[in-house]
Structures are given as C-alpha cells and as structure tokens.
Amino acid sequence: MRHFLAQQAVSFDHFAIKAPYTQVMKKITRTLITGFMPLLFMFGCATPTPKPSAQLTAEELARQELEETGKQYLNQAENARSPEREELLLWAADYFARAHNISLSQHTLGRIEQPKYLSSELKSKLALVQAQILLVENNAFAALQLLNNLPDSVLTEENSILFYQRRADAYRQMGNYLAATRNLIWLAGKLEPSPERDSTHTEIWDLLQNIPLQSLMSLKQHAYSEETQGWLELAYLYKLHRENPEQLNLATLRWQNQYPHHAITDPSKFVGELNLPRLEKYPSRIALLLPLSGSLKRAGLAVKQGFLTAYYESSSMQRPKIGFYDTGNQLESYQAALAQALLEGAELIIGPLNREFVAFASGSERLPIPMLALNYSQNQVSETSNLIQFGLAPEDDARQVASMAWSQGHRSVLIITPADEWGERISAAFDHHWRELGGRVLETQQFTEDASIAGSVRRLLNVDESEARHRELRQLLRRNLKFETRRRQDVDFIFVAAFPAQGRQIQPLLRFYYAEDLPVFATSHIHSGWPDPQADRDLNGIIFCDIPWVLDANNPRKETIKRLWPDDYRDYNRLFALGMDAYELVPYLENLILYPSQFYEGQTGSLSLNSQHQIERQLDWAQFQRGRAVRMQSDVGIW
C-alpha cells in the first residue's frame, strides 16, 4: 500500500459534462511542479524549476472558471420553475463546491425549498454536492459514507460520472489507492473514446504506481474483470522490468497479445513515456562514511555488510571503486573522513549514519559533490544543496500508522509511548499527522520502565477513574455494591510505540482492562524482525508497518547474510537492508529527482524523493497471528 505519492486533497473533475440546460465545456490546466532540482547525479546537468506561483495561477484560473459556470446556472434558476429551478440550483452549488467556494455552495443549497420533497434523481444530485463539499473540507470518510448510500438506480448518466470520480477522490484522499483505482477503472468504462477518457487512464496509471510489486502480483490474480486484470498486469510488468528496456518491450508485446480488446490500445504511451530507464553506470568512485569504531560500530558494520552484499551481486562491469572511511563518534572524525574522501577523488558520498553529522552537513555550505546521507536532519535543505537524506526514521512509521488508521475510518486515538526522546519523537510525528488528517488525540500516556506500564495502561483507558467512582459510591452509600470496572468508550483505536519486550506487556494489559475489542496499531519497532512465536503470542492482533526486507520470508539474500553475520543480522537486520538500498538506489537517484512521482522498490520500502530532498519510504503491513508476523493481504479481493 502506498501512502505517501503527493496527492491533492480534492482533484477537479476533468470531464466536460453536458448539463441538461446548458452545455458547458471546461478545461483545467495541470501544471507539473517537480520541486527543486539539485545538481543532477552523474551528468551534472540542471533543468529550470517552474515557479510555485505558476501552479497557483492555474488552480485559481480553473476555480474561477468553475465559479463562473455556477453563476450561469444560478442566473438561469432565477426565472425557472420547479423542478427545473431545483435542478439548476443543484448544478450551481455543485460547480461552486468544485471551485472550493463552500460558503456560496451551501448558500445556494439553502435556497432549495423543502429538499425532502425532491425527486430521487435530484436527491442523489444533492448528495453528490454535499460529498464534494466534504471532500474540499478534507473529510473523505464522511463523503464516502454519503456516496456509498446512493443506489445506482437513481443516478443519471452525468451524475454517475461524478459519483465514480468523487468516490475515487475520497479514496485517494484517504490514501486507499487501490479503491481509488478501481473506481476510476469503472468510470473509464462509462466514457466514450475522448480526451476525458485519456485523462482518466493517466490517472489510473499514476495511482497504480503507488502499489507495491508484491501487491500487484496478488491483485492481478483476483481481478474480477479482464479490463481490470489488464491494468494490473501492465503495471506489474512495468515495475518488474523497468530497469531492463529489452525485457520490458517483450513483456509489453506479450501483454498486447493477451489483452487485444483492452481500452489501452497503445501501452507504450505509459510504459514507454513513463518508463524511467536505469542509468548505465555508477559514478567511478563512491566513498562510504560510516562509524566503524565507537558505540555505533556494530550499526555501521551492518550497513557496510549490506552495502557489500548488493555490491558483489551487481554486474562487475558496473561496479565503482569503493572507499570506506571511519567517522567514529566525534564530529572532528567525520570532518576528517569527509576531507580524506574528497582528497582521494570520491564522486559520491554515502553516509554519514550519525544524526548529528547529517545535521552538520545539512547546515553547511553547498557540498562539492553529491551526498546520500543515511539519516535525517531537521534543518531545511536549500534548492541548490547536493544533500539527499535517506534512513530508517521512526517518524516515517508513525505517520504511516496515522494514515492507515484514518483510511480505515478511525477518528479518535489513545497513544502510549516510552517516556524518552525516541518515544517523544514518534508521539509528536504521529500526533501532528493525525491532527492534520482531522483526527482527535484523546490522551497520551508515557511509561518510564517496565513497572510503570500497567499504571500507564490503566490511566490511558480511564480504569482508575472507573474504580475511583466505585469507591466514592461505596463510601457514600456505606454498603458493598456489585461493580464491574469499565474502560472509556470514546476511542476508536490505540497507537503503541514500543519495542517487543514492552509490547508483550502492553497488549495483554489492554485485554485485561477490557480493550480487547479495540484495534491496536504499532510501528515496526514492535517486531523484532525474526520469528519468535512463543514470545510473540502476547502481541497477537497488533497491526504494524515494516520494511519489505523483514516481512519477505523468501528473500534469498537473507540466508546469505544470516550465514555470514548471524549475530549482527539478529540485532541489526534492518540496517543490512539500508546498506543494500544505499548501493542499489544510486543509479535511480537522477530519475527520482527529475520525476518526484516515481518510486524505487527497495528492501526498505517503496522509495520516492520529496521536495525537501528526503527519501520517503512506503512500508508494508502485517499483523501478529499465533505469534507470527503475517503479511496483510487485505487489498486482495476488493477488485
């Protein structure tokens, strides 16, 4: 599941809708903003970046045109009689809502007298307008509930187009790209060959790029129609072969023979134009700056070993020269290592791993060569920076848990985290993103040590307050009362940031204190990364995100690394994956800079580059069942 492609809250409908009284054609300019462009890796060429104001101008012009159309309907409604008047008012309100003029849209709806007496068709149109208003207000869940209650039999042809488009917008806003794609495929099937259908096909393709390769492989086997299966198959082949143009071309030809009646008559429009070929070579010399001594030595060695695993599996014709430089734990050591790497002719720096060193690099003047740092800094990175940041930040997990819970319809949460800097970082990231989505944080509890976990869980669920009320009543009435402890009832789910030993205490306590029916979401840290079904039975039911490397039991590289470095793998298995991706990502960096909507399928997730020069990771999902982490395949079957 891929949450994290840049998405707009509500996309404008891009269909020229033939309204019942006035034919209105509208065009909406779509302007691609690629963010800033650093010195391009390997080639050193640059592309001018459009000014952000260009996009704002396009949106403003589009909304202005939509609003003018709404005013035309409003004027016609002045002299019309029922039921034409109500229909015209509804169309006017619809266009005002699409123009993001919510107050005018609601005011126009208010002019409809006795809406309960509207015909079934007009009631469905009213629901579509209200759904659009909710989407603009970033309340996709409520919009979806409204839309899902509309029976197909009351939808006119025009309203049916709006229905599927708005359902797609709602699912996209919630981060459910699979359901959004499904609705757009249905929508495209209702459209005649036209620029509008072509635009819908492009939307479908863009959404499919958010879905991981593994999910595409499963989904295409469960597609309910040949048209849907063709879309999934083409996206799967593109992701599978995109680094090998010859194989991709052969696969595309086979696809055309297999799906001769598919709506996509020319797949090269997508596979050809959107295919981003892998660079033919690495830079000639890469410097790896890692802590190979000091307190972070084992972490640094795990990254190095993962890096070398990928290095020796790559083609010998493409292998660059690699230099290893020890940054230690002191800033002076890092500076000396960097200076030595530059002196010896490095063309690309990978590292450092230490957060403080990355913060120093991001706050320094422009780096003379590109750097792929293996951690993140809070500093803003300038447009001309040569620094790209990539790591396993726990904040990534927290934000994705928030998005997943929101997409499932949850709105209120209880949070429990350790009372330390790590716990506060995760709590803050989750809290911020959750409130941005529109969710409510009812309470946050922190625990300082194992002995305090029980008390934290009791306070989180308001069990203490329930028992206190019982004591007060018993004292007031001076007699024993039948009493059953109750937890609070205003919560939808619980977010846990904890390590396995802590989680094995928290989950049984949640059950003990009557919260067994509440969903529990956690970050990847709840999972040790290796099977331990006896101990992990106490984690049963917890849903968590994690990197593909950990959840993929059939990855052949795992056996190699377990055999060569068994102790390091057990303690630092995710850092091995970071090292592998650090090497294999290099040839794709230029493409990620040029095309921010593209992803690289790595061991640490589906990777893309945001406007802050940070690699964002889309993680996979699993649930503890019978003491084992079971990869969630909830996407299968929704087609």
Say if residue 403 is in the same domain as residue 460: yes
Same domain, 350 and 473: no
Helix (H, G, I), strand (E, B) or coil at 309: helix
Residues 6+ apart with CB under 8 A from 161: 13, 15, 17, 187, 190, 191
Measured distance CA(316)–CA(335) in Å, rounded: 31
Mean pLDDT of 37-46: 36
Query: What percentage of the chain reaches a pLDDT higher than 70?
Result: 84
Q: Which of 116, 147, 173 is at the close of a domain?
A: 173
- Cis check for the bond before 566: say yes or no (omega within 30 of 0): no
3-class SS string, 375-427: CCCCCCCCCCCCEEECCCCHHHHHHHHHHHHHHCCCCEEEEEEECCHHHHHHH
pLDDT of residue 391: 95
Give the C-alpha distances (Å, rounded to integers) separating 334 from 115, 167, 316.
70, 52, 30
Tell me which amino acid residue 132 is.
Answer: Q
pLDDT (mean) for 136-146: 89
Domain count, the chain: 3
Greater confidence (170 vs 223) lies with 170
- Per-residue pLDDT, 319: 86
Q: Residues 14, 132: one domain?
A: yes
Show which of 526, 546, 566 is a domain's final residue: 546
Burial group, residue 545, by CB count within 10 angstroms (0-12, 13-18, 19+): buried
Query: Does the pLDDT at position 274 exceed 50?
Result: no
Question: CA 523, CA 433: separation in Å to the nearest integer?
Answer: 14
- Residue 381 and residue 399 in one domain: no
Residues 421 and 524 in one domain: yes
φ, ψ for residue 506 (rounded to 5)?
-65, -50
pLDDT mean over 20-29: 31
pLDDT at residue 633 tops 80: no
Q: Which of 485, 520, 546 is the last residue of a domain?
A: 546
The token pair that represents 178 in the structure block: 């699979």
User: Does 588 fall in a domain?
Assistant: yes
Dihedral class, residue 390 (left if φ above 0, else alpha if ψ from -120 to 50, else beta): beta
b/e map of 363-375 (b: 16 or more CB within 10 Å)?
A: eeeebebbbbbbb
| SS3 category, 605 | strand
- Token digits of residue 240: 């599978």
* C-alpha to C-alpha distance for 238 and 251, rounded to whole angstroms: 9
**Does 30 have pLDDT greater than 70?**
no
What confidence tier does 468 reach under pLDDT thresholds 50, 70, 90?
low
Q: What is residue 461's three-state secondary structure? A: coil
Query: What tokens does 3 get?
Result: 């949450």
pLDDT at 125: 92
What is the pTM (predicted TM-score) of this model? Answer: 0.68
Q: In the structure, what pLDDT confidence band is assigned to residue 384 with cuts at 50, 70 and 90?
A: low
> pLDDT band at 152, cuts 50/70/90?
confident
Could you write out the three-class secondary structure of 144-185?
HHHHHCCCHHHCCHHHHHHHHHHHHHHHHHCCCHHHHHHHHH
Mean pLDDT for all residues in the chain: 82
Q: For residue 91, what is the domain's CATH number?
A: 1.25.40.10
**What is the pLDDT confidence band of residue 560, given thresholds at 50, 70 and 90?**
confident
11 confidence band (pLDDT: 50, 70, 90): very low
The answer, yes or no, to whether residue 45 has pLDDT greater than 70, is: no
Residue 73 has pLDDT above 70, yes or no: yes
Contacts of residue 306, defined as CB under 8 A and 6 or more positions apart, other chains included, come to 561, 575, 576, 577, 578, 579, 580, 582
205 within domain boundaries: no
Within a domain: 82: yes
Q: 151, exposed or middle or buried, with CB in 10 Å at 0-12, 13-18, 19+?
A: exposed
pLDDT of residue 212: 79
Domain membership flag for residue 178? no
Assigned domain for 626 exists: no
Report the distance separating Cα 73 and Cα 344, nearest Å. 71
pLDDT of residue 346: 95
In terms of domains, do 424 and 386 share one? no
Instruction: Decide if 70 is inside a domain.
Output: yes
Same domain, 368 and 448: no
Q: Is the pLDDT of residue 475 over 70?
A: no
**Same domain, residue pair 404 and 379:** no
Same domain, 139 and 157: yes
Comparing 106-110, 167-171, 610-614, the range with the smallest average pLDDT is 610-614
293-296, long-range: CB within 8 Å, 24+ apart, which pairs?
293/326, 293/328, 293/329, 294/328, 294/329, 295/329, 296/329, 296/353, 296/354
Q: Three-class SS of residue 17? A: coil
Q: Are residues 388 and 399 part of one domain?
A: no
Residue 201 lies in a domain: no
Cis peptide before 83 (omega within 30 of 0): yes
CB contact at 8 A, 597 and 202:
no
Distance CA 231, CA 229 (A): 5
Q: Any idea of the CA torsion for 255, 259, 261, 267, to the nearest 10 degrees?
A: -20
Lowest mean pLDDT among 96-105, 379-388, 461-470: 461-470
Of 384 and 271, more confident: 271
Q: At 514, which CATH number?
A: 3.40.50.2300
Position 356 scores a pLDDT of: 93
Is 290 inside a domain boundary?
yes
Tell me the pLDDT band of 60, cut-offs 50, 70 and 90. Answer: confident
Q: What is the mean pLDDT of residues 231-240?
A: 90
Per residue in 419-466, pLDDT (tens digit) is 999 999 999 999 999 998 889 999 999 998 766 898 898 889 887 665
* Cα gap 579→588, rounded to integer Å: 15
Do residue 387 and residue 450 come from a single domain?
A: no
Q: How far is CA 367 from CA 16, 351, 449, in A?
A: 50, 13, 43
| Sequence-distant (≥ 6) Cβ neighbours of residue 277 within 8 angstroms | 242, 243, 245
Domain that holds residue 516: 395-546
- Residue 470 has what DSSP assignment? H
Tell whether 403 and 505 lie within a shared domain: yes
Q: Which residues contact 566 (CB under 8 A, 6 or more apart)?
A: none
Comparing 62-76, 127-141, 362-376, the range with the smallest average pLDDT is 362-376
Given CA atoms 98, 101, 103, 107 in this order, what sign does their dihedral have? negative
